[in-house]
Structure 1
Amino acid sequence: MGAGVYAERVNAAARLLEGGVPVGDAALLLSVRFGVSLRQARRYADMAAAGGRIVVPEPTVVFTVKLPAVLAARIREEARVRGTTISSLVAGALSDHLVSTGAGSPTDE
C-alpha cells in the first residue's frame, strides 16, 4: 500500500473521530469501507486519534536524467550523510532552484 492510500485512510478515520464517532466504532466502519481487517482499521483510527489528519503525499513519477559520474557520486554521498533518499534530495534541490529563479513555485509542480 502506498503512502497516499495510508494517508487517505488515516484522514477518513480522523473525520469520523472529529464527528464524535468512538475509536472502536470508527475502526469497524473503516474495516467495512476499505475492506481491511478490524485490526488494521483500528491502527488507522489509533493513528488519527493520536495525531489527527496527515498530509497526503503528491504522486510521483520516474524521471530519468544522465549526470556526470562525479556529480552522481556526490549526490549519493550527500543523501547518505543526510539520511534521506536520492529522490528526496534531488527533488528538494530542484524545487528550491526553480523557486529561487522564479521558474516555478511549489504549487506549480
Structure 2
Amino acid sequence: MRVGDSRCGAVEFALRVNTAAELLEAGAAVAEAARVLAAEFDCSSRQARRYVERAASGGRVVVPEEMVVFTVKVPAALAVRVRERAKESGGTISALVTAALIGFLARGHTQPRRR
C-alpha cells in the first residue's frame, strides 16, 4: 500500500484475490470468506466482498513480478528516441525498455568485451 492511500498495489491485490479463491475452494461461503479477508488484510467488509466476488468470477490471478528501479546511462539522443517511441505507442518508457531487453536477451546476443 502507498502511504496515505487506501489502494493496494498489484501484488497485494493478487494476494488478496488468491486468498479469497483458496477460501472458496476450501468450501467457505462468500460471506464467511469476506469476513476472513477483512480481518486478515485489515480492509472493509465491502472491499473484502469485492475480492471474494473477483475470485468467484475469475479464479486466481497471476501475482506480478516485483519491479525495481534500474538506472543506466544512455546517449541523450537515444533517450529522446525512447521517450518518443513510448509516447507514440501510448505505453511507458519502462514497458518499452522492458520489452526491448527481454527480446534482446531471448535472442542470446552478446557484446564483444572491451580490451
TM-score range, shorter chain: 0.7 to 0.9
The alignment covers a number of residue pairs equal to: 103
Q: CA deviation at 1:102?
A: 6.4
Equivalent residue number for residue 61 of structure 2: 54
- Cα deviations by residue, 1:1-29 (Å, 9 ceiling, x for unpaired): 22111111111011111222222221111
Q: CA deviation at 1:38?
A: 0.5
Unaligned 5+ segments in structure 1 are 104-109
Q: Which of 71, 78, 83 is equivalent to 1:71? A: 78
Aligned 1:79-94 pairs, distance under 5 A:
79-94=86-101
TM-score, scaled relative to structure 2: 0.80
Q: Which is richer in helix?
A: 1
Secondary structure of the corresponding residue to residue 53 of structure 1: coil
Larger radius of gyration: 2
Q: Work out the CA distance in 1 between the residues paired with 2:109 and 2:85.
A: 26
- Cα deviations by residue, 1:62-99 (Å, 9 ceiling, x for unpaired): 11111222221221222222222211111111011111
Structure 1 residue runs of 4+, over 4 Å off? none
TM-score, scaled relative to structure 1: 0.84
